[in-house]
């Protein structure tokens, strides 16, 4: 994949520079989506996809050539959203209209989780896929709101409560590496307070921390990652 062809705001999320404080977790998340989505898309079929809380639509490229339509929905004045809503609004789309709903790092920002999940269920066709990632553990990051965190058991229970069958889950950034990410995030906040000089000082520290997190993730047992991680990507199907 030639990521340089993607918009700069997308590149900043899925392939940031190695000195960026969120380089490693960004790359891990991108790779999780890249391993997950293409095998789910059948050869010769076209899909209706709704990106629910689309932001800059960072994973739209994974559906290229496989969609009848790709609809981005977001709150506020996001110019990249095809449909703009306010928190708590119902989606003005047809029931059972979509084959796939993508919800990437959105659920932690949703105050009315019941309404959000009901909308996901309503707009999906029977047997449709919900691809949902959200935080297990992370620092507070209001944009503008930050309400929720989940354990893997809590996420499975949530999805099953809304008549989704969980097919698999992908952990992203194990708990040992996460401790380093949380410290680096604090240093990043402090550097931003100092302006350009602070960001210059942060760059070499961030570079060291990226390699530190890689090693920490490498030595963390998979069973521990499956239980405790910064992010979980859930693959669930509407019953």
Q: What pLDDT was estimated at residue 64?
A: 96
Helix axes 23-40 and 175-194, enclosed angle (nearest 10): 130
For 180, the enclosing helix (H) or strand (E) is helix 175-194
Q: What is the rounded distance in angstroms from the CA atom of residue 219 to the CA atom of residue 210?
A: 15
Say what the pLDDT of residue 135 is: 98
**3-state SS string over 76-97?**
CCCCCCCEEECCCCCCCCCCCC
Residue 14: the pLDDT is 96
pLDDT recorded at residue 125: 98
Superfamily designation of domain 3-174+221-238: Vaccinia Virus protein VP39 (3.40.50.150)
Q: What is the pTM of this model?
A: 0.95
Q: How far apart are CA 23 and CA 17, in angstroms?
A: 6
Integer CA distances (angstroms), 17 to 27, 199, 234, in order: 10, 13, 27
**The tokens of 87 are what?**
């928190």
Measured distance CA(153)–CA(226) in Å, rounded: 10
Average pLDDT along the chain, 239 residues, taken 10 residues at a time? 93 95 98 98 96 98 97 94 93 97 97 97 98 97 92 98 98 98 96 92 96 98 98 97
Helices (H), 129-174: 152-161
User: In angstroms, rounded to a whole number, what is the distance separating the alpha carbons of residues 98 and 128?
Assistant: 7
Look at residue 77 in the predicted model and tell me its pLDDT: 87
Strand 164-174, strand 229-238: pairing: antiparallel
Give yes or no for a contact between 119 and 90, defined as CB atoms under 8 angstroms apart.
yes
Task: Give 153's contacts (C-beta < 8 A, 6+ positions apart).
Answer: none
All residues at 6 or more sequence positions from 189 whose CB lies less than 8 Å from its CB, including other chains: none
Contacts of 73 (CB under 8 A, 6+ apart): 50, 51, 52, 53, 54, 81, 82, 83, 84, 85, 91
At 74 the pLDDT is 97
pLDDT in the model for residue 159: 98
At residue 76, the pLDDT reads 83
pLDDT at res. 176: 97
Question: What is the pLDDT at residue 195?
Answer: 92
pLDDT of the residue at 137: 96
Scanning 41-124, the segments in alpha helix (DSSP H) are 113-123
Q: State the pLDDT at residue 87.
A: 87
Instruction: Answer for the pair 24, 185: CB distance below 8 angstroms, yes or no.
Output: no
Give the model's pLDDT for residue 143. 81
**pLDDT for the residue 237:** 98
């Amino acid at each position: 994949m030639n990521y340089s062809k993607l918009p700069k705001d997308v590149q900043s999320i899925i392939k940031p520079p190695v000195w960026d404080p969120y380089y490693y977790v960004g790359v891990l998340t991108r790779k999780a989506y890249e391993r997950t989505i293409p095998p789910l898309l059948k050869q010769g079929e076209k899909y209706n996809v709704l990106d629910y809380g689309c932001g800059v639509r960072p994973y739209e490229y994974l559906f290229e050539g496989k969609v009848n339509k790709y609809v981005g929905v977001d709150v506020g004045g996001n110019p990249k959203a095809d449909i703009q809503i306010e928190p708590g609004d119902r989606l003005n789309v047809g029931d059972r209209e979509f084959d796939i709903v993508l919800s990437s790092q959105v659920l932690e920002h949703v105050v009315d989780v019941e309404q959000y999940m009901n909308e996901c269920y309503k707009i999906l066709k029977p047997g449709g896929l919900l691809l949902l990632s959200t935080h297990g553990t992370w620092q507070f990051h209001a944009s503008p709101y930050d309400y929720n965190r989940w354990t893997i058991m809590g996420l499975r229970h949530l999805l099953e409560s809304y008549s989704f069958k969980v097919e698999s889950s992908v952990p992203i950034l194990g708990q040992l590496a996460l401790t380093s990410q949380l410290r680096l995030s604090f240093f990043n906040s402090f550097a931003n307070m100092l302006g350009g000089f602070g960001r210059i000082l942060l760059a070499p520290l961030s570079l060291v921390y990226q390699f530190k997190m890689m090693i920490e993730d490498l030595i963390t047992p998979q069973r521990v990652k499956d239980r405790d991680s910064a992010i979980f990507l859930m693959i669930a199907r509407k019953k």
